[in-house]
Amino acid sequence: MATPSSLAQKMTKSTAPTPSPLTWKFVVMGVVPVVSSVLLWWTLHIALLGPNDALTTVERLMQYSVSLIFFCITLALFGVFAMAAGRRRWWASLVSGALSSITLLPFFPWRWATLAAALITLCGYALWSWNVAGDVAIRRKFQPHYTIHAGFGTGLILLLVGVSMCYYTSLGQKDASAATFRENLISSGREGIDSVLANQVEGYRGEMTLDEFLGLVATDKLGEFVLPQVTETLDNDRAKQEAYRKLQTELRKLNPSLPATQTNAMGAELDKQLEAERQALLQATLAKLSDVQRQLLDEARHEFVQTFRIQAAGTETMDAVIDKILLRNISTYVDPYEDFLPPLLALSFFFVIELISIIYRYIIFALAPLIAWVYQKMGALRLRVVQADVEEVVV
């Protein structure tokens, strides 16, 4: 005679859900994250290894932003697929995660760090998908906006470590890393210094020579300008600009219908003419220096190069002079730590993308329910009500 416990075991075995055969829709759902990951690694490759010398800071940030968008899309797609696979088909999530991980290999230099990046990324996908599948199993309803959170923190850290390893491989050897690091610091520093000098020194341009710059700012021991002709002309130019601004304001008051583009074009033309006058005067003045002025300018140049401890003849452009100053100071701090520079840069890159994750993680959380809804509308995901018999202990 069968006991109640044996009947319950038979009932459980007979009613246990069995995985339905794989459909092409399920396979497509697993392939889509892989395709998205290819776009992710491709855009990251462009941002890290592309020709960035001619790009501005804004353009480079745009490249990283595009890669970050594909990162969010890839994780949202994979998270929804892990929900659909569940624990019964967790192997499918593992396969999709493995393919998404190894697709980074063709885009980055072949080093041990590249292989480590793929393995760490796979671990992130595997751990996260296992937690997602477990969360689906314990819920009474399909709630992707909650399930996507399951184990996401740990999985995201592993994925970001993998991305940071990709950045590490893109740095190359330590010499190349140090050179690139110096160039980036010098470029950003030069742009900032040029901006400050342009605001502080009337008529300053990065393309002017050191002697031309000293002609604008150099003074003797009594505080008198070495080249007073240039200063007087700059004062006259400033007066012209102020007079024009007042005239422009009055014209707009008298004729409000006057197009702003027309007055702005007039202002730009005046600024262009004044700049040409300044440069012509400066070069003419330098060519006709008196012996006293020449001696004062030489003294000013000597004091300048002694102060910043660089070599300069006066004919170098200010941008080149600024680069020398920055290179000397940066090398003092970079050279002793050249061996540690690549891992330090990779670590700093990780902390940066981890710091801003507070923003893009919510983009992933918002995309997952949207993707699940699209899959349902397409018929790839279907929800069915399942009745389950459970054992309850009573006394």
pLDDT in tens, 223-262: 455 555 555 555 555 555 565 566 556 556 656 665 666 6
Unique residue bearing structure tokens 């801003």:
356
Q: For Cα atoms 36, 37, 38, give the angle at the middle one, nearest 5 degrees.
A: 90
Of 122, 131, 76, give the one whose Cα is nearest residue 100: 122
Give the per-residue pLDDT at 176.
Answer: 56
Of 244, 212, 243, give the one whose Cα is nearest residue 230: 212
Unique residue bearing structure tokens 């002694």:
306
Asked whether residue 81 carries a pLDDT value surpassing 60, the answer given is: yes
Give the per-residue pLDDT at 110.
Answer: 85
Are 342 and 171 in contact by the 8 Å Cβ rule? The answer is yes
> Residues near 189 by Cβ (< 8 Å), separated by ≥ 6?
322, 326
> Residues near 218 by Cβ (< 8 Å), separated by ≥ 6?
225, 226, 227, 296, 297, 300
Give the per-residue pLDDT at 105.
Answer: 93
Asked whether residue 130 carries a pLDDT value surpassing 80, the answer given is: yes
Give the per-residue pLDDT at 221.
Answer: 47
- Of 23 and 98, the structure prediction assigns the larger pLDDT to 98
- Reduced to 3 states, what is the DSSP secondary structure of residue 379? coil
Asked whether residue 298 carries a pLDDT value surpassing 90, the answer given is: no
Q: How far apart are CA 205 and CA 218, in angstroms?
A: 16
Q: How far apart are CA 24 and CA 30, in angstroms?
A: 10
Are 116 and 164 in contact by the 8 Å Cβ rule? The answer is no
Give the per-residue pLDDT at 52.
Answer: 66
Unique residue bearing structure tokens 């490249």:
63
Q: What is the residue-averaged pLDDT of the chain?
A: 78
pLDDT tens readout for residues 376-395: 888 888 877 777 676 777 77
Are 226 and 293 in contact by the 8 Å Cβ rule? The answer is yes
Give the per-residue pLDDT at 9.
Answer: 46
Are 341 and 175 in contact by the 8 Å Cβ rule? The answer is no
Strand-pairing partners, residue 225, are 219
Ramachandran angles phi, psi of 317, nearest 5°: -70, 160
Q: How far apart are CA 252 and CA 381, in angstroms?
A: 63
Q: How far apart are CA 323 and CA 243, in angstroms?
A: 37
**pTM as predicted:** 0.64
Other Cβ atoms less than 10 A from the Cβ of 99: the count is 18
Q: How confident is the model at residue 286 (pLDDT cuts 50, 70, 90)?
A: low
**Mean per-residue pLDDT, 197-221:** 74
Q: How far apart are CA 140 and CA 136, in angstroms?
A: 8
